[in-house]
Amino acid sequence: LLCACCTNATVEELLPQEEKEGGWKGHGDGDRGDRMKEMVEEECDASTCDGVDEGALDCDIQWPGRLDFSGMTYEQKQAAWGEMKDKKEDIRQQILLCACCTNATVEELLP
């Protein structure tokens, strides 16, 4: 915060940037689809679908809404945030299985 205030730097200039094919990527640039594709490419292998019943796989992903922390105590906020993190991990696994074990693309699975 002090760097932004004292140097007239923007927050974007202070956030870490990663070089990526086709340009630079920062936080919040709508690159979630790219990150999901990378995850699928890295983690999807022959063993990913072992024991998975493709017919029973639910690829209709239910995306959580935004958290509303208004009126919550600190402990309630921490619990809600933990639940959201768990749900995000479940969705990540669901996307991985659906993309690896069915003909679904990451683009089709994202909202």
Query: Which pLDDT tens digits describe the chain residue by residue (111 residues)?
Result: 444 455 556 655 555 544 444 333 333 445 667 888 998 999 988 788 888 888 888 899 888 888 888 999 999 999 999 999 999 999 999 999 999 998 788 988 887
Whole-angstrom CA distances from 72 to 34, 65, 68, 76, 79 are 34, 17, 9, 6, 10
Are the beta carbons of 99 and 106 closer than 8 angstroms?
yes
Prediction pTM value: 0.63
Other beta carbons within 10 Å of 53: 8
Are the beta carbons of 100 and 42 closer than 8 angstroms?
no
pLDDT confidence of residue 97? 92
